Amino acid sequence: MAEITNISNITPIAVRSRESYPQSVGRQTATQGIEDRVEISEAGRVLARHEDASSYRRARVEAVRQEIDAGTYVTPERIQGTIDRLLELLR
């Protein structure tokens, strides 16, 4: 790692207050008919759909866990449905 020995020529970063910005950038822009707008990228939309699906899956897994704990998950209808799907895969 490089060692810094002389900091006399380093310029600090200037921080501006909102009032010091030019008028075109400041608070008056909203009154001049300029509106803020947000655009969501396709990647953002995919992530949002994924989050919706993830939360659904988490809720479904929790519901199944509760059914298993209560002893109500295994029913004759579910067993028959599983058998039917397995037989369909073998065809």
Which stretches of the chain score pLDDT less than 50?
A: 1, 25-26
- Give the whole-number percent of the chain exceeding pLDDT 90: 35
Position 80 scores a pLDDT of 96
Position 69 scores a pLDDT of 94
Position 49 scores a pLDDT of 83
The whole-model pTM stands at 0.40
SS3 8: coil
Smallest Cα–Cα separation from 65: which of 76, 57, 77?
A: 57
**What is the Cα–Cα distance from 72 to 13, expressed in whole angstroms?**
65
**Tens of pLDDT, residues 10-34:** 555 555 555 555 555 445 555 566 7
By the 8 A CB rule, do 23 and 15 touch?
Answer: no
